[in-house]
Amino acid sequence: MITVTKAFLPPLEEYHARLRGVWECGWITNEGPLVTELEEALRQYLGVKHLLFVSNGTLALQLAIKALDIRGDVLTTPFSYVATTSSIVWEQCRPVFVDVDPRSLCLNPDLLEAAITPATQAIVATHVFGTPCAVEQIEQVAQRHGLRVIYDAAHAFGVQYHGTSLLRHGDVSTLSFHATKLFHTGEGGAIVTDNDELARKLAYMRNFGHEGAHTFAGLGINAKNSEIHAALGLCVLPHVPELMRRRRALVQLYDQLLAPAKLQCPQLPPATTPTYSYYPVLFRSEAELLRVCDALQQAGIYPRRYFYPVLTTLPYAPSADCPVATDVASRVLCLPLYYELAEADVARIAQIIQLTMA
């Protein structure tokens, strides 16, 4: 069976070596030495100022909203994973959906100002499939109207934009280190910011509000992560360049073999260095997509409709008219892409797609 993704697992002996140290010192959680080492390694690798390792990407979003004191309306994308919207609602804010750009599939910056009201306090935008949002335009709008900006960068680990980390944009960027991601810790996530005071606030908020053993700086929750997860991340991180090289080769093969089908793919803005986290394609219609899915599944191949359905259909979110996102969500399919995927399987997937579309 070929699934849309498969977690990369480092050599077991490398993980055992890390775990042996955990067993020897008995420090399992509460910001242990491996968590500290991983945070520093990720800061260096990603080229960011502050990075806090947390339990998962959803808590990273929730902490970012809470730490920035966002309590009103939040302009956001209807085309993302559900956690982008659910985090806003969970924090007692109101998501206001703004349609996406048909080329990038990210939030359309040209539509933002028309959606701003006196209740608007922030923008939460997703770098969908690792494609950078229009960060310059979004931040110009935010500055004109005094809005906070959070980027859901769950898909954008390692993406470079104009030679620097994409994560440097906005007040906060959040990452997911779920097992399905390019870099993972099994379960986990991170919060990235350049703001020193905000980083301090986020640090105590993820640890019950503690700022010292007997001192509480403010409200907090338990969003820490463990030495066990940090150990896995420290074993995966050295392999990331190799993982990206392999994914790039598979993406180039898909591009070559699927060229006759003339499928639409999201357009990367100039000066973007991608990390090949996903391989999304858009079919001409939902009916065509469903035929292709059925043909692939009959062959034991399981792509996934990331992201379907459009988030405007969520029962706990306000309805909105977002025709581009609605259309995109009905036609987009992520094809299998992972380190162990064989070239022969890519060729078989491409052949089935072309035969089904013929």
The confidence score (pLDDT) of residue 171 equals 98
β-bridge partners, 14: none
- The phi, psi pair for 14, rounded to 5°, reads -65, -40
| Whether 318 contacts 298, CB under 8 Å | no
β-bridge partners, 334: 280, 304
DSSP 207: B
Helices (H), the chain: 12-25, 33-46, 57-67, 82-90, 112-115, 135-145, 196-205, 227-236, 240-258, 286-298, 323-331, 343-357
Distance CA 64, CA 205 (A): 10
State what percent of residues in the chain have pLDDT above 90: 99
Residue length, the chain? 358
| Whether 77 contacts 126, CB under 8 Å | yes
The confidence score (pLDDT) of residue 212 equals 85
The confidence score (pLDDT) of residue 296 equals 98
Tens of pLDDT, residue by residue, the chain (358 residues) = 999 999 999 999 999 999 999 999 999 999 999 999 999 999 999 999 999 999 999 999 999 999 999 999 999 999 999 999 999 999 999 999 999 999 999 999 999 999 999 999 999 999 999 999 999 999 999 999 999 999 999 999 999 999 999 999 999 999 999 999 999 999 999 999 999 999 999 999 999 999 988 999 999 999 999 999 999 999 999 999 999 999 999 999 999 999 999 999 999 999 999 999 999 999 999 999 999 999 999 999 999 999 999 999 999 999 999 999 999 999 999 999 999 999 999 999 999 999 999 8
Helices (H) and strands (E) in the chain, counts: 12, 14
SS3 97: strand
Distance CA 61, CA 79 (A): 16
Amino acid at 148: R
CA distances from 261 to 227, 277, 278, 327 (A): 47, 22, 19, 19
Amino acid at 6: K
Q: What is the largest CA-CA distance in the chain?
A: 69
SS3 28: coil
Helices (H), 173-226: 196-205
The confidence score (pLDDT) of residue 358 equals 87
Q: Which two tokens stand for residue 122?
A: 């922030």
- Which CATH topology does 10-238 take? Aspartate Aminotransferase; domain 2 (3.40.640)
The confidence score (pLDDT) of residue 258 equals 98
CA distances from 351 to 96, 256, 264, 276, 277 (A): 41, 12, 17, 22, 22
| Whether 250 contacts 256, CB under 8 Å | no
Name the residue ranges covered by the structural domains of the chain.
10-238, 239-357
Q: 239-357 has which CATH code?
A: 3.90.1150.10
